[in-house]
Structure 1
Amino acid sequence: MTLLAVERIKLFTTRSPWWCTLIALVLTIGFGALMAGTSDEAIAPLNVAATQFGYGFGLVVVMVMATLAITTEYRFSTIRATFLAVPNRPSTLVAKATVVAVLAAVVGEIAAFGSWGIAGAIKPNVDLAINTAYEWRAVAGVGLVYALSAVVAVAVGVLIRHSAGAIAVLLIWNQLVEPLVQLIPRVGDDIHKWMPFNIANKLVTGNPDPTTRDVLQGPPPSDAVLGPWPAIGVFAAFAAVLLGIAIVVANRRDA
């Protein structure tokens, strides 16, 4: 508990988590409001999925926040003092990943329900009730995806240690590698179905999707072959393995 308290204090006494949290909330809720304000009931009726249009933008910002939480310690060499005070490096890094993941989950839930709420306020006559399992996952599932993605970001930050490099790797993978891998002839689509962030998105966009929405309404549907809950389980395992690798590497090299 002491380690968790220390990591919480270190996280909230720097500016980057506050700014990233604000930006993530403004982006996701802002896009929710934009989707509600521009929706046309005759062409593309507003639905629960559409309110989460900004989900991916908020995810990027949350991963940047999680990366900075560890890489700034390497940049200013405060990680050395941390490891001197607590020689058990795995405990320290797990505590940091836990605190960052909890913050990411809270941001994700506020962003998701905030987007849904503001859309309902803008279009009070539209039925945006959360009734089905799919609709609950589309909104409440955002926090879980954000939390696990934050763990992935912390692990990458530990491995690379430089803010710009770690952020570049995460953004290039999430925004370029996974979408563009589908362009590989014959095997691209099969590979894409097992890409980690595509698998994670299955929880939020996975079947059954009763809205039969256009792909431009809300986050792009995942084509992962697993069901929503097995998919997020695989992504959680991926995050855990990557964090484990990062801990082993951190134990073997100088801070």
Structure 2
Amino acid sequence: MSVIAVERIKLFSTRSPWWCMIVAAVLSVGLSALLTGLAANDDVTVFFTQAGVSLSRMVIMVMAALAITTEYRFGTIRTSFQAIPNRTSMLLGKTAVVAGLAGLVGLVASFGAWAVGTVFAGSADMAIDTGAEWRMVAGQGLVYAIAAVIAVAVGALLRQSAGAVALLVLWPLAVESLVSLIPKVGDDLSRWAPFANADSFIIQAQDFGAAAGEGGMGTFALSPWAALLYFAAWAAGLLAIALFVTNKRDA
């Protein structure tokens, strides 16, 4: 528990987590108010309120990566390793703190966006009634936490803030989309991309025409909860590689 306490103090002693959390909240709540306010009441669903949450997730991934890369940038990682010689313990403690904070921010962002959207939606029915709607709102916390684990692993592997941030932004936005352009196998490969499955967990069976029927699989490779487990497996695999590399190379 002392490792957790130390990592919590280190995380909140810098400004970047605070700024990232503020930006994440503004993006999710602001876009929710904008879209629900401009849309006709009859067209507004819970889905409308969550339009900015995926952008907020990227901001939190940046925060998670910076939590490790800034230590390498300023050389404080050496002090951390001297204070906690067990590098695995240190990195796991940092990951737990960052993932926990990311999950909390995800819940605040999603429920905050839904609450603000409900105000701007007027007479539209914004109640969270179905399992799919609960997954879209409450499930954001799980996705944020797992995405933060991936971000910490990438940061530990690259050790450079610019490179880690660029990869984490381009991976879900561009790389996974470009995979679908590969002839013959692109569409099949893109269905197994990690962030595509994270989105699959969130959006399957929502009432906006993206999924095939009541709980249907449509173009998704896995069912919602299997997709989340697949996304978590990517996070666990990357973290395992990061732990191995961190223990093998010099700080």
TM-score exceeds 0.5: yes
Q: Distance in 2 between matches of 1:222 and 1:4?
A: 42
Counterparts of residues 88-99 of structure 1 (less than 5 Å): 88-99=86-97
Amino acid across the alignment from 2:77: I
TM-score normalised over the length of structure 2: 0.95
Q: Distance in 2 between matches of 1:101 and 1:23?
A: 18
TM-score normalised over the length of structure 1? 0.93
Q: Choose the corresponding residue for 1:229, options 225, 230, 233.
A: 225
The amino acid across from 1:200 in the alignment is A
Aligned residue number for residue 198 of structure 1? 196
Structure 1 residues 61-118: Cα deviation after superposition (integer angstroms, max 9, x where no partner): 0110000000000001111001011110001000000000011001100000001000
| Cα deviation 1:210-253 (Å, max 9, x = unaligned) | x13479xxxxx994310110110111111011001001000000
**What is the alpha-carbon distance in structure 1 between the residues aligned to residue 181 and residue 243 of structure 2?**
34
* Distance of 2:220 and 2:176 partners within structure 1: 12
SS of aligned partner of 1:184: coil
Q: Any gaps of 5 or more consecutive residues in structure 2?
A: 212-216
Provide the rounded CA distance (Å) in 2 between the counterparts of 1:54 and 1:225: 24
Query: Contact 1:32/1:52 (CA < 8 Å) preserved in 2?
Result: yes
Question: Structure 1: how far apart are the matches of 2:110 and 2:240?
Answer: 29
Match for residue 168 of structure 1 among 159, 166, 169: 166
- 2:22 corresponds to: 22
Q: What pairs with 1:1-16 in structure 2 (closer than 5 Å)?
A: 1-16=1-16
- State the SS of the aligned residue for 1:183: coil
Q: Give the corresponding residue for 2:35.
A: 35
- Per the alignment, do residues 214 and 194 of structure 1 end up closer, same or farther by CA in structure 2, a change over 3 Å counting? closer
CA separation of 1:10 and 1:101: change in aligned 2, threshold 3 A: same
Are 2:216 and 1:252 aligned?
A: no
Aligned sequence identity (%): 52
Mapped contact 1:109–1:142 kept (Cα < 8 A): yes
Of stretches 127-136 and 163-172 in structure 1, the one that deviates more from structure 2 is 163-172
Q: Is the 8 A contact 1:201 1:222 kept in 2?
A: no
Q: Which residue of 2 aligns with 1:146?
A: 144
Match in the other structure for 1:218: none
Q: Give the number of aligned pairs.
A: 246
Residue pair 1:205, 1:222 contacting (<8 A) in 2 also: no
Q: Does 1:180 align with 2:178?
A: yes
Q: CA deviation at 1:122?
A: 1.4
Once the two structures are superposed, what CA deviation does each residue of 1:116-163 show, in whole Å capped at 9, x if it has no partner? 000111123110000100000010011110100000000000000000
The 2-side partners of 1:235 and 1:183 are apart by 22
What is the aligned counterpart of 1:71 among 69, 72, 91?
69
Give the Cα–Cα distance (whole angstroms) in 2 for the partners of residues 223 and 165 of structure 1. Answer: 32
Query: Does structure 1 retain, via aligned residues, the 8 Å contact 2:47–2:208?
Result: no
Q: Alpha carbon RMSD of aligned pairs, Å?
A: 1.5
Q: Equivalents in 1 of 2:171, 2:74: separation in Å? A: 27
Q: Structure 1 stretch 146-155 or stretch 183-192: which is displaced more?
A: 183-192
Deviates more, 1:15-24 or 1:179-188: 179-188
Give the unaligned 5+ runs of structure 1: 216-220
